[in-house]
Amino acid sequence: MKRKTFLATVVGAALALTAFEAPAQEPIKIGEINHFKRMAAFAEPYRMGVELAVEQINEAGGVLGRPLEFIYRDDQGEPGEAVKIAEELMTREGTVMLTGAILSNIGLAISSLAAEKHYVYLASEPLADALVWDKGNDWTFRLRTSTYMQAAMLAEEAAKTDAIRYATIAPNYAYGKDAVAAFKENLLALKPEVEFVAEQWPPLFKIDAGAEVQALERAKPDAIYNVTFAGDLAKFVREGTTRGLFDGRKLYGLLSGEPEYLDPLGAEAPEGWIVTGFPWYGFDEGAEKDFVNAYQARWDDYPRNGSIVGYNTALSVAAAIEKAGSTEAEAIREAFVGLELDTPVGPVTYREIDHQSTMGAFVGTTALRDGEGVMIDWEYRDGADYLPSDDVVREMRPAK
């Protein structure tokens, strides 16, 4: 897992920063829209990651000789409010592009506006595959490892077992639907004899965990694929543990190993689940460790998954604007297409074919350590290895 050092990542060739040159007074403004109040536990680590990168970029000379500045706005978790804020950021605040969002429905709303206004939007965290495929557009790019990519990683692990009968549980909205579809597609391609015997679709953040657990138990699956997150995940884990749903079964959890979701469970965290996550506590060298050290020194806190996404968001923005040599929207858009940069978790490319980045994810097994949930036996999977073929992408993505 040796990477380029953190310092080289920031000031190296990928960013082409003008080292040690004092930035001009006028900052380059980036409009950042997120759910800072409604989802503070997730949005704040992301913001802290952004700020850490911005501070280091500016200390190294800024971008095009100017300081980089993110203008933060809270959308209250409402798509309509996000669109209103986006328009204000474009017209009144002097921002040159937009970033942000966690919830997929909000990311999709901003993406649609970006296409209409010809304004670059870097969807930092939304996971819905529609952002880059069936609803993709020329002006939207996505950083985070997509739903499809992470589901494919878990399907690869599931195919190695003797489990045949699978049940799924996922929130009933875009992200959940995509996550189940992607897991099915990839697992069936690897192991055609698999059958899916139950699907549960609780409303987002309104799960009736007892009823969901009972329904899954009645189906008698060999394995369960879980896509619930945040408070819904905590309720599901507690009910499932109490009622013995997980006993003797394989469990696969999308995002379930991320500190944002695992840490609140404490000693109640499940053991033996195969999950995607962010095992920051296991980084012992290279750029990954440099990032953790710098984050802890700056914030007196440990990083979450959102922290590295926020950090890589700012690195991506800086790299694109430097490559563009301009803050004009069309120049930034062209620069993002095929953009390559180094990050603490490895090199990332924004693919020309669909604007999805190749940022990967960590896959491992949950365990308890000193009364806290952690990931063990983990490894980083390169996102480029878990995407559909170009021919398939062309069929899904709207013709230009």
Q: Tell how strand 165-169 and strand 223-226 pair up.
A: parallel
- What is the b/e burial string over 144-159, where b = at least 16 CB atoms within 10 angstroms of the residue's CB? bbbbbbbbbbbbbbbe
Same domain, 233 and 378: yes
pLDDT tier at 400, thresholds 50, 70, 90: low
Same domain, 372 and 239: yes
Dihedral (CA of 282, 264, 38, 127) sign: positive
Assess whether pLDDT exceeds 70 at residue 9. Answer: no
CA dihedral 231, 237, 238, 244 (to 10 degrees): 160
What string of DSSP letters covers 248-315?
A: T-EEEEEEEESHHHHGGGGGG--SS-EEEE--GGG--SHHHHHHHHHHHHHHSS---HHHHHHHHHHH
Same domain, 36 and 152: no
373 lies in some domain: yes
User: How far apart are alpha carbons 342 and 250 in whole angstroms?
Assistant: 35
Assess whether pLDDT exceeds 70 at residue 15. Answer: no
Instruction: Note the pLDDT tens digit of each residue in 45-70.
Output: 999 999 999 999 999 999 999 999 99
How many Cβ atoms sit within 10 Å of the Cβ of residue 102? 25
User: How far apart are alpha carbons 60 and 52 in whole angstroms?
Assistant: 13
What string of DSSP letters covers 44-75?
A: HHHHHHHHHHHHHHHHTT-BTTB-EEEEEEE-
Could you tell me the residue range of the domain that residue 374 belongs to? 148-282+361-391
Helix axis angle for 230-242 and 209-219, nearest 10°, is 60
pLDDT > 90: percent of the chain: 90
Contact 372, 269 (CB under 8 A): yes
pLDDT at 388: 94
> If you average pLDDT over every residue of the chain, what do you get?
93
12 lies in some domain: yes
DSSP letter (8 states) at residue 122: E
Could you give the 3-state DSSP secondary structure of residue 146?
A: coil
Same domain, 20 and 127: yes
82 lies in some domain: yes
Instruction: Note the pLDDT tens digit of each residue in 185-232.
Output: 999 999 999 999 999 999 989 999 999 999 999 999 999 999 999 899
Assess whether pLDDT exceeds 70 at residue 384. Answer: yes
Assess whether pLDDT exceeds 90 at residue 123. Answer: yes
Question: Per the structure block, which two tokens stand in for 398?
Answer: 């709207």
Question: Per the structure block, which two tokens stand in for 152?
Answer: 């494919």
Assess whether pLDDT exceeds 70 at residue 10. Answer: no
pLDDT tier at 175, thresholds 50, 70, 90: confident
User: How far apart are alpha carbons 10 and 246 in whole angstroms?
Assistant: 44
199 lies in some domain: yes
Distances (CA, A) of 9 to 46, 53, 144, 319, 379: 19, 11, 18, 11, 21
Same domain, 371 and 255: yes
The domain spanning residue 198 has which CATH number?
3.40.50.2300
pLDDT at 2: 42
| Mean pLDDT of all residues in 79-85 | 97
165 lies in some domain: yes
Longest dimension (CA), the chain: 66
Same domain, 14 and 48: yes
Assess whether pLDDT exceeds 50 at residue 16. Answer: no
Same domain, 259 and 291: no
User: How far apart are alpha carbons 246 and 248 in whole angstroms?
Assistant: 6
DSSP letter (8 states) at residue 385: G
399 lies in some domain: no
Instruction: Note the pLDDT tens digit of each residue in 234-281.
Output: 999 999 999 999 999 999 999 999 999 999 999 999 999 999 999 999
Assess whether pLDDT exceeds 80 at residue 23. Answer: no
pLDDT at 173: 85
pLDDT tier at 7, thresholds 50, 70, 90: very low
316 lies in some domain: yes
Bridge partners of 251? 224
pLDDT tier at 398, thresholds 50, 70, 90: confident
230 lies in some domain: yes
Backbone angles phi, psi at 27, to 5 degrees: -80, 160
Same domain, 267 and 229: yes
Helices (H), 191-229: 209-219
Assess whether pLDDT exceeds 80 at residue 285. Answer: yes
pLDDT > 70: percent of the chain: 94
How many Cβ atoms sit within 10 Å of the Cβ of residue 397? 17
| Mean pLDDT of all residues in 360-387 | 97
Question: Per the structure block, which two tokens stand in for 344?
Answer: 């603490």
User: How far apart are alpha carbons 255 and 218 in whole angstroms?
Assistant: 25
| Mean pLDDT of all residues in 342-346 | 97
Same domain, 71 and 185: no
Number of domain units in the chain: 2
Assess whether pLDDT exceeds 50 at residue 113. Answer: yes
Assess whether pLDDT exceeds 60 at residue 153. Answer: yes
Question: Per the structure block, which two tokens stand in for 355?
Answer: 């604007």
pLDDT at 24: 47
Same domain, 219 and 80: no
Same domain, 260 and 162: yes
All residues at 6 or more sequence positions from 91 whose CB lies less than 8 Å from its CB, including other chains = none
pLDDT at 17: 43
Q: What is the pTM of this model?
A: 0.92
Same domain, 195 and 252: yes
